[in-house]
Structures are given as structure tokens and as C-alpha cells.
């Protein structure tokens, strides 16, 4: 149990200041829905402290309160005490795994999610569902009405499925258009390869257009965020080592990701492996190279597209992009470069959409309540397009939009930039 000693239990003084404060209540999405202290960051801090000190049993009910946290980090930013309640909730999930490990987590995060080929096989039925026209039939015949509300929302989350995972399509090296000014690595995330291949293909095209030769290692594994969310820190370290070793084999100055969640976790590798012999320097060197696509594009002389997109657009801030990485101006500035786009700021743009990875599956009622509020804020902008840089957010928002029968497109900012370039250049930029 030596791992538990590494956890930072709030001190008595911190704890007393915490329970007297309550600033976190104003920014917590779960507390806003239920107005219950156990659904608040302050309540979770109290439960965690009492559990870690032995005053409360680390029961399944107590741990459930930690899993009910969306880990959106709004409380971390608001906390004047410096406790970081969202981080503590995640650490408590790790504590549970030390006491009562769940075998299914090893099979899911180690045996499936940590193996790209198996992930491709597991998601094959979804690609078939789309390819043979069954999905269109389900909608045309209103078969979805026979589904439970949760199953309908889960089906609505699915983006347009690619014919093949992008990992099988992208070459190892994509040459820059014209002179190579930058040599960058591209971290192709699981969701991006399997669900959002059009999005990541657009990322590669935009990078190549702007003088980048792109190296895309095919053996990358999950960034580790799903395993971290379910308390399997050992698998996070395993995935981190695999990805670091893989990128050490290629000569790149920057590692680009177009997934906010992946970027957040990749940038933490240096901290995660800081205590591991032979990996501290390697992980730190890796993490310092990682940049979100919008962060990188706005740091270089980016070619302004001359194509137009005449549409009203708004933007949702992924928690793992704005709070974890401090990136929020860059995607907005990128969108504002596109002629014809009318950018409208969304109310509560940086509030969690309710996805939090798997909350639509595990905490359906809370997830949909938070999602519906997000959709109302989108609706208030009268936008035709909502843009966001996280696949989880995109899927959640798309589900909410279909749930409310709205005609709003959900896209990554880089897709709109690629589309503006495409409007100018024609079909040579539209590749399968």
C-alpha cells in the first residue's frame, strides 16, 4: 500500500478552509444539477479525507461519489485553498484499485484499448452498420423510437463512420506542400483513427499545406486518459512508455495532436514518469514537444485561406483544452481567420458538456441534464455550426443536437480551416 502514501491528503487547515469556502459550488456542473453537497467538490473532498484517514469506510458508495465527478477541473481553477478537488476524485479511484482491483479494467484498458488492432476489430460492426446503409434505414424507418432513451442518445453520438480506420490509410510520412519548414510528428489518437478519420485527415492536409512534413507512427497506443479515469495508473505509465519510445525513433521537433484529451495526457507524461528511473528525462523531453493543433498553427506564419464559408459558428471549450492546457484563444483566432464565418461567443462556453469520457453510459441522467443545458446555450447563439477540439465533446454535443432535433453541424476547427482551403483549391485537397 505504499502507493497510497504518495497521495496528498488535505491538511486540517486546508480542510477547514475548504468547508468554510464553497466557491467551487458555483462552477460545479453536478452540484448545479442536484444542489447536494455529496455532488459537490467540497463534499467529495470531505469524503475523500475521511476515507483516507480511516474515519469512513472506503465503501462502494463513497467511491461512487468520486466516479460521479466529471473531472472537468472547474473546481481546481476556482479553489483558493489549492486542494484541486477534481484531481483528488481521480486519485480516490486509484485508491480503490489498490484495495479492490477490478479484473475487467485490465481486459478493457490493457487488453483492448491499449491495442490498436483489437480496437479496429472491435469497432468493425460500427463501420459495417454505416457502410451497408443500416444506419440510414434505422433513421428512415424511425426504428430508433423503439430504443431506450439512453440507447438512442448513445447511437446519436456516433459520427459518420470511415470505411477504414485512418491508421490503415495515412502514410508514415506525408510530405509538405512545397518547401519543408517544419518536421512534425502526429499523434493519431484512438477516437481520431476509428471515429474521426475525416477530421485527422484534415489536420494532416492543413499541416502539409503550411510547410510541414508529417511523421505519423502507426503503433501509437491510447494516451492513457481512459485508464487514468478508472484508477489504472499502472496502465497509464505503460502506455506512456510505449508512446515515448515510439516517438524517440523519429526525428521531429514537435508532436501534434488534434484531440484535446490526448494532448492533455501527453503533456503530463513528464510528471507521470518523473519518479521512474530511466524515464524522467525521456518523458519530460517528450511532453515539452507536444502541442495542440490550434496552438501550433497559431504559432507559425499560417497561410490565410481565401476560400469562404458563409455560416454562423460558435465554439465549445473542451475542459482538457482550456483548463488542462490553457488553450482557448487559439482555436477562436483560427476560426476568425476564415472569410464569411460569423463567430458568436456561446454562453457558458467553458462549462462541461456532460461527456467526461463515459458519463453518458455510466451516469446517464446527470450527463444528459448537463448536455441539455449545453445544447440550449448553443441554440441561443443561432449558430449553424458548433466547433470543438475534442472527440468526446463532439460526440456528446452531436447527441444533444439530435436529441433536440436541431440542424447544427458539429466539427473540429481544423476541419473548417481545411474546408476554406478546399473551397479555393478544389478536389485535390479532398482525399479519402
CA–CA distance, 196 with 161 (Å, rounded to integer): 8
Quick one: average pLDDT of 390-404? Answer: 96
Contact yes or no for 422/307 (Cβ under 8 A): yes
The pair phi, psi for residue 174, each rounded to 5°, is -115, 120
pLDDT of residue 428: 40
pLDDT of residue 10: 81
Quick one: average pLDDT of 66-79? Answer: 96
Q: Mention the CATH class of domain 308-429.
A: alpha beta
Can 166-297 and 308-429 be said to share one CATH topology? no
- Architecture category of domain 2-99 in CATH: Orthogonal Bundle (1.10)
pLDDT of residue 422: 86
Which pLDDT band, with edges at 50, 70 and 90, does 43 fall under? very high
C-alpha cell at 288: 515539452
pLDDT of residue 24: 95
CA–CA distance, 135 with 184 (Å, rounded to integer): 37
418: which residues sit within 8 A by CB, 6+ positions away? 202, 203, 205, 206, 429
Q: Looking at residue 216, what DSSP letter applies?
A: -
The pair phi, psi for residue 376, each rounded to 5°, is -65, -35
> Is the predicted pLDDT of residue 158 greater than 80, yes or no?
yes
pLDDT tens string 196-255: 999 999 999 999 999 999 999 999 999 999 999 999 999 999 999 999 999 999 999 999
Contact yes or no for 184/148 (Cβ under 8 A): no
Which pLDDT band, with edges at 50, 70 and 90, does 405 fall under? very high
Q: Is 394 exposed, middle or buried (0-12, 13-18, 19+ CB in 10 A)?
A: buried
The model's pTM is: 0.93
Contact yes or no for 379/404 (Cβ under 8 A): yes
Q: Give first-to-last CA distance, the chain, whole Å.
A: 51
Q: Mention the CATH class of domain 166-297.
A: mainly alpha
Which pLDDT band, with edges at 50, 70 and 90, does 426 fall under? very low
pLDDT of residue 12: 84
pLDDT tens string 321-368: 999 999 999 999 999 999 999 999 999 999 999 999 999 999 999 999
Pairing mode, if any, of strands 308-315 and 254-257? unpaired
pLDDT of residue 4: 46
Q: Closest Cα to residue 252, out of 326, 330, 180?
A: 180
pLDDT tens string 88-145: 999 999 999 998 999 999 999 989 998 999 999 999 999 999 999 999 999 999 998 8
pLDDT of residue 19: 86
Which pLDDT band, with edges at 50, 70 and 90, does 7 fall under? low
Q: On the CB side of 116, how many CA atoms lie within 13 Å of its CA?
A: 22
Helices marked H in 53-167? 60-67, 74-78, 85-99, 103-105, 116-122, 124-131, 134-140, 149-157
pLDDT of residue 342: 97
- Domains of the chain by residue range: 2-99, 109-157, 166-297, 308-429
Quick one: average pLDDT of 302-327? Answer: 96
C-alpha cell at 366: 446527470
Q: Looking at residue 243, what DSSP letter applies?
A: H
C-alpha cell at 334: 483560427
Amino acid at each position: 500500500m505504499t502507493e497510497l502514501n504518495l497521495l496528498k491528503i488535505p491538511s486540517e487547515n486546508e480542510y477547514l478552509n475548504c468547508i468554510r469556502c464553497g466557491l467551487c459550488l458555483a462552477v460545479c456542473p453536478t452540484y448545479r444539477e442536484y444542489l447536494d453537497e455529496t455532488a459537490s467538490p467540497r463534499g467529495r473532498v470531505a469524503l475523500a479525507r475521511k476515507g483516507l484517514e480511516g474515519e469512513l469506510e472506503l465503501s462502494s458508495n463513497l467511491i461512487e461519489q468520486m466516479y460521479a465527478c466529471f473531472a472537468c477541473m472547474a473546481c481546481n481553477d476556482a479553489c483558493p485553498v489549492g486542494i484541486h478537488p477534481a484531481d483528488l476524485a481521480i486519485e480516490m479511484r486509484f485508491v480503490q484499485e489498490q484495495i479492490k482491483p477490478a479484473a475487467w479494467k485490465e481486459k478493457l484498458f490493457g487488453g483492448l484499448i491499449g491495442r490498436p488492432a483489437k480496437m479496429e476489430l472491435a469497432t468493425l460492426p460500427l463501420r459495417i452498420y454505416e457502410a451497408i446503409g443500416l444506419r440510414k434505414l434505422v433513421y428512415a424507418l424511425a426504428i430508433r423510437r423503439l430504443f431506450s432513451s439512453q440507447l438512442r442518445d448513445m447511437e446519436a453520438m456516433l459520427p459518420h463512420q470511415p470505411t477504414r480506420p485512418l491508421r490503415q490509410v495515412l502514410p508514415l510520412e506525408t510530405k509538405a506542400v512545397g518547401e519543408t519548414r517544419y518536421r512534425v510528428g502526429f499523434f493519431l489518437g484512438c477516437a481520431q483513427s476509428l471515429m474521426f478519420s475525416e477530421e485527422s485527415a484534415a489536420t494532416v492536409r492543413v499541416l502539409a499545406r503550411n510547410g510541414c512534413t508529417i511523421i505519423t507512427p502507426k503503433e501509437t497506443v491510447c494516451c492513457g486518459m481512459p485508464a487514468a479515469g478508472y484508477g489504472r495508473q499502472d496502465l497509464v505509465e505503460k502506455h506512456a512508455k510505449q508512446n515515448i519510445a515510439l516517438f524517440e525513433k523519429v526525428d521531429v521537433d514537435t508532436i501534434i495532436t488534434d484531440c484535446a484529451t490526448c494532448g492533455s495526457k501527453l503533456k503530463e507524461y513528464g510528471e507521470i514518469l518523473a519518479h521512474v528511473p530511466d524515464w524522467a528525462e525521456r518523458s519530460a523531453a517528450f511532453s515539452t514537444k507536444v502541442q495542440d493543433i490550434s496552438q501550433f498553427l497559431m504559432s507559425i506564419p499560417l497561410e490565410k485561406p481565401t476560400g469562404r464559408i458563409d455560416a454562423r459558428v460558435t465554439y465549445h471549450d473542451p475542459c482538457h483544452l482550456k483548463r488542462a492546457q490553457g488553450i482557448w484563444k487559439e482555436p477562436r483566432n483560427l476560426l476568425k481567420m476564415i472569410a464569411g464565418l460569423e463567430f458568436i461567443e456561446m454562453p457558458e462556453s467553458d462549462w462541461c458538456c456532460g461527456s467526461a469520457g463515459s458519463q453518458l453510459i455510466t451516469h446517464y441522467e446527470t450527463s444528459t441534464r448537463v448536455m441539455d443545458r449545453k445544447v440550449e446555450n448553443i441554440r441561443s447563439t443561432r449558430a449553424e455550426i458548433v466547433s470543438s477540439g475534442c472527440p468526446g465533446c463532439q460526440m456528446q454535443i452531436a447527441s444533444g443536437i439530435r436529441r433536440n432535433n436541431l440542424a447544427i453541424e458539429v466539427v473540429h476547427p481544423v476541419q473548417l480551416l481545411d474546408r476554406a482551403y478546399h473551397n479555393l483549391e478544389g478536389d485535390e485537397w479532398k482525399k479519402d
